Amino acid sequence: MTQRSNHSELNQYHLGIWYSAYRFIISFCMLMIFLTTYSKLATEYQYPRLYLYVMTVYVILSSLQFFIIKKIPSSISKQLVLIFFADVTALSLLTLALDGPNLNLSLLFVITIFAASLLLNAQKALVITLVAVISVIYQLFLGSILDIASLKNIGNSALLAFLFFVVYGSGQIAVRRFQILENLNFSQSIELNRLQNINRYILEQIDTGYLVLDENCHVVLSNPAACSLLGIPASYSHDKYPLYKTQADLFELLKFEDLQNGEKFQFKSQQSRYYIHVHVQKLNVPQQTLTLLVLQDAEKLNQHVQQLKLAALGQLSASIAHEIRNPLAAIVQANDLRTDSEPEQQQLLSTMIAKQAKRIDSIIQDTLNMVKNKETHTVLLRLNQFIPQLIQEDLADIRNKIQLNIQTDCCIYFDEAQLRQVLINLIRNAIRHNDIDMPHIEVNIYPHEQKMWLDVRDFGQGVAIQHQASLFQPFFSTEITGTGLGLYLAHSFCEANQAQLTYVEQQRGACFRLSCQRAVL
Strand pairing class (441-448; 402-406): parallel
pLDDT (0 to 100) of residue 151: 45
Instruction: Reply yes or no on whether the pLDDT at 24 is more than 80.
Output: yes
Indicate the length of the chain as a whole number: 521
Task: Give backbone dihedrals phi and psi of 514, rounded to 5 degrees, phi first.
Answer: -100, 115
Give every CB contact of residue 458 below 8 A, 6+ residues apart in sequence: 430, 431, 433, 434, 435, 438, 441, 442, 509, 510, 511
**Which tens digits make up the pLDDT trace of 498-507?**
899 998 888 8
Let me know if 320 is exposed, middle or buried by CB neighbors in 10 A (0-12, 13-18, 19+).
middle
- Range of 296-305, 359-368, 446-455 with top mean pLDDT: 446-455
C-beta atoms surrounding 96 within 10 Å: 21
Strand pairing class (288-297; 209-213): antiparallel
Under the banding of pLDDT at 50, 70 and 90, the label for residue 458 is very high
**Which tens digits make up the pLDDT trace of 424-433?**
889 988 898 8
pLDDT (0 to 100) of residue 513: 92
C-beta atoms surrounding 429 within 10 Å: 20
Sheet holding 288-297, edge to edge: 241-242, 218-222, 209-213, 288-297, 275-285, 264-268
Amino acid letter, residue 288: Q
Percent of the chain with pLDDT over 70: 79
Instruction: Reply yes or no on whether the pLDDT at 149 is more than 50.
Output: no
Q: At what angle do helices 103-119 and 122-146 cross, to 10 degrees?
A: 160
Give every CB contact of residue 31 below 8 A, 6+ residues apart in sequence: 55, 56, 58, 59
**Rounded distance, CA 115 to CA 480, Å?**
86
pLDDT (0 to 100) of residue 455: 92
* For residues 413-417, average pLDDT: 87
Under the banding of pLDDT at 50, 70 and 90, the label for residue 137 is low
* For residues 104-123, average pLDDT: 78
More confident residue, 235 or 210: 210
Give every CB contact of residue 362 below 8 A, 6+ residues apart in sequence: 483
pLDDT (0 to 100) of residue 444: 92
Amino acid letter, residue 293: L
Percent of the chain with pLDDT over 90: 3
pLDDT (0 to 100) of residue 146: 47
* For residues 317-334, average pLDDT: 73
**Rounded distance, CA 152 to CA 44, Å?**
16
Contact assessment for residue 190 and residue 210, using Cβ atoms and an 8 Å cutoff? no
Lowest mean pLDDT among 53-57, 181-185, 399-403, 475-479: 475-479
**Rounded distance, CA 213 to CA 193, Å?**
22
Instruction: Reply yes or no on whether the pLDDT at 415 is more than 60.
Output: yes
Q: Which domains does the chain have, with CATH numbers?
A: 2-188 (no CATH), 207-300 (3.30.450.20), 302-369 (1.10.287.130), 378-517 (3.30.565.10)
pLDDT (0 to 100) of residue 178: 66
Task: Give backbone dihedrals phi and psi of 506, rounded to 5 degrees, phi first.
Answer: -130, 155
**Rounded distance, CA 435 to CA 411, Å?**
31
Contact assessment for residue 396 and residue 465, using Cβ atoms and an 8 Å cutoff? no
**Rounded distance, CA 95 to CA 395, Å?**
107
Long-range contacts: 430-437, Cβ < 8 Å, 24+? Answer: 430/456, 430/457, 430/458, 430/510, 430/512, 431/398, 431/401, 431/402, 431/458, 433/458, 433/460, 433/461, 433/510, 434/401, 434/458, 434/459, 434/460, 434/509, 435/459, 435/460, 435/461, 435/509
Instruction: Reply yes or no on whether the pLDDT at 171 is more than 80.
Output: no
More confident residue, 505 or 477: 505
Whole-number mean pLDDT of the chain? 77
Residues forming beta bridges with residue 221, ordered by sequence position: 212
Question: Degrees (nearest 5) of the Cα angle 235, 249, 232?
Answer: 15
pTM, full prediction: 0.41
Amino acid letter, residue 45: Y
Give every CB contact of residue 52 below 8 A, 6+ residues apart in sequence: 34
**Rounded distance, CA 414 to CA 426, Å?**
16
Dump strand ranges (E) for 407-507: 411-415, 441-448, 451-457, 500-504
**Which tens digits make up the pLDDT trace of 263-287?**
887 878 778 788 888 888 888 777 7
